[in-house]
Amino acid sequence: MFAVKICGITSVSDALMVANAGADAVGLNFYPNSPRYVQFELARRISDALGERVAKVGLFVNAPSEGVCRAFDQLHLDLIQLHGDEPPETLAELGGRPMMRAFRVGDDGLRPVAEYLRRCRELGCYPRLVLLDSCQQGQYGGTGKAADWSVLHNYSTEIGEPPMVLAGGLTPLNVAQAVQAARPAAVDVASGVEASPGRKSEPLVRQFVQAATAALRAIGALK
């Protein structure tokens, strides 16, 4: 389990900077339509450079299961993040590999999340983590739009498990407020710590890690 994940890493230098700044997970985005997309060989170099210093999460959007499994195995990833429209049956095809399912929470609130997880339980493919992101039509995350934290606050009572990771529009300036409102187990940021899409800002990363860590510790999510 991680506490602070910096997603959309596109270079070895940014990966090492993020690790040195105190984040304990990085995200490698394999969605070709994303400005943070990384090709396989670059992802391999990033993974090799990081070693076991932080958790390495592969983000996939509607990708074939066999390709997801191959990337996980060959790149020595620690977690698969499914961020598209994958049905629960897709999770069952991952062979028990550790997985985080992302949901874009919209007008229906947490009800679709609960229904999805119910089906996962029936299939025996329950995710280790749930990531809750903002909903923007036609987008699969990384938009910079904040989620409705008041709705996500109900996750612990309406769903409870698996642990919830908060994403969507987080920045060094609002992450403490977001954590206090939504009370997640961890946080995930991409655009909120960037100098430009795919390029991380070291000052923003360090500010975010410090603010997020303090906020998570304050609510008891981090010891």
Active-site residues, by number, are 7, 133
Residue reference for tokens 């990966």? 15
Length of the chain as a residue count: 223
Measured in whole angstroms, the distance separating CA 71 from the mean position of its chain's CA atoms is 17
Asked if 136 and 145 touch (Cβ cutoff 8 Å), the reply is yes
Q: How far apart are CA 71 and CA 159, in angstroms?
A: 30
Asked if 38 and 5 touch (Cβ cutoff 8 Å), the reply is no
Beta strands in the chain (DSSP E): 4-7, 25-29, 55-60, 79-82, 99-105, 129-134, 164-166, 186-189, 194-196, 199-200
Dihedral in degrees, nearest 10, Cα atoms 214, 218, 220, 223: 40
